[in-house]
Structure 1
Amino acid sequence: MNRDTQLLTIAGPAGALACAIDEPPAEARVDGAPRGVAVICHPHPLHGGTMDNKVVQTIARAVLQLGFRAVRFNFRGVGESSGTYDDGRGETDDALAVVAAHRQAGVPLWLAGFSFGSFCAAQAAARLAEAGTPADRLALVGPATSRFALPAVPADTVVVHGEADEVVPLQATFDWARPQALPVTVLPGVGHFFHGQLTLLKTVLVQALR
């Protein structure tokens, strides 16, 4: 994302997983340390999704502004990550492996994702909760509610969707959120990829997660 981004690989369930780590600015830290760690999941691997996706990078910039270390990674079979696409199952395992590698005891953990990545982030959050080690916050941007069966999520989950989403209809996200009484932040006139509205998306995420 910038010249200070640290690139590394970790051991994943299907082999090496490529990760990109960005540290928050000094003024956003507490006693010189990040306030927490945010793991961010990218959109669909078979449709060009990578950790360098602009929406994923926007989510990263939002959490960095809030003092969190941003951890992006490529799912299996993407870029330098080993393995092949696994319809969300293996990719959820990948997300959990990244969490295990970067989570720190006593430090808040956030999970976030865009589109397909929102499905994987929500699934990972559910698995962590079942294990008694829940994430502290969950943020879902343009969640793929019409394409994957997203689980129920915590009441404080941040959900942002474009009104004019041409990939995942807004109505599908409303239908998923309604039984949970879960608020959805709708950006008027915005499509699935938030073209021309990334600054607005960042502002909305910072305000919602602060």
Structure 2
Amino acid sequence: MSRPAPTENALLRGAAGALDVLIDVPAEVRGIAVVCHPHPLYGGANTNKVTHTLARAFRELGYAVLRPNFRGVGKSEGSHDLGNGETEDTLAVVEWARQRWGDLPLALGGFSFGSYVQCRVANQLAGDAYRAERFALVGMAAGNAADGARQYDTPPLPAGLSSLIIHGENDETVPLANVLDWARPQELPVVVVPGADHFFHGKLHLIRDFVARVWAPR
């Protein structure tokens, strides 16, 4: 059985300059996944453990997974743009992947601020012929953060997506009630992990299990 290739480092072109991207490619590519990391002003990067866990889960399902660093993180140029430029850059990564692997099924994944960006990306792609089919949000950002320093007007997901929304019962950054308020009018189920905090300490294996359980080939 062939093994997946080692993680690649690539510098892609974004609107504000270079985009620092990690790429994980399975032995056989069946889809494309782009996974976004938490808030760059609070230490978020594409090496974050939750982001890495999502990437690994998608790679094990046969997705080529791209994890961009947002503006100002790592070797990515530019500065934090409150989700606007980050959405633009994520769309650029999707297009680059499409040029490399073709119009394979697309999945979007995000953790915390990265989930907010991916909701915006999904809506930008909703009217295109090439749009996301699967969507994984972990510790998603919606409403007011618990510290009162940030507020997220997270758009609803486009209709027709297969979505997996995972949140910790004891999330100290984004209260679970915020996510339920966002999901309720859309009639979207939310998987609540008992005892989990925002970073899913000691619970990361559950994220992988949920992704595999929902989307493993039948």
Structures share fold, TM-score greater than 0.5 = yes
Measured after TM superposition, the shift of residue 204 of structure 1 is 1.2
User: What percent of counterpart residues are identical?
Assistant: 49
**1:100 pairs with 2:95:** yes
Cα distance in 2 for partners of 1:207, 1:151 equals 26
Measured after TM superposition, the shift of residue 105 of structure 1 is 3.1
Greater mean alpha carbon deviation, residues 195-204 or residues 150-159 = 150-159
**1:118 pairs with 2:115:** yes
Cα distance in 2 for partners of 1:108, 1:138 equals 11
**1:177 pairs with 2:168:** no
Poorly superposed stretches of 4+, deviation over 4 Å: none
Measured after TM superposition, the shift of residue 209 of structure 1 is 2.7
Aligned to 2:139: 142
**1:201 pairs with 2:203:** no
SS in 2 for 1:76: coil
Point out where structure 1 has 5 or more consecutive residues left out of the alignment: 27-32
Contact 1:41-1:117 at 8 Å conserved across structures: yes
**1:189 pairs with 2:189:** no
**1:157 pairs with 2:158:** no
Cα distance in 2 for partners of 1:200, 1:111 equals 18
Measured after TM superposition, the shift of residue 45 of structure 1 is 0.5
Of the candidates 85, 89, 108, which is equivalent to residue 90 of structure 1?
85
Contact 2:103-2:130 at 8 Å conserved across structures: no
**1:9 pairs with 2:11:** yes
Greater mean alpha carbon deviation, residues 120-129 or residues 100-109 = 100-109
Cα distance in 2 for partners of 1:15, 1:91 equals 12
Contact 2:5-2:24 at 8 Å conserved across structures: no
Measured after TM superposition, the shift of residue 207 of structure 1 is 1.1
Measured after TM superposition, the shift of residue 139 of structure 1 is 0.9
Deviations 1:86-113 (A, max 9, x none): 0011111111011011124331111110
Measured after TM superposition, the shift of residue 167 of structure 1 is 0.3
One-letter amino acid matched to 2:153: A
Contact 1:158-1:209 at 8 Å conserved across structures: no
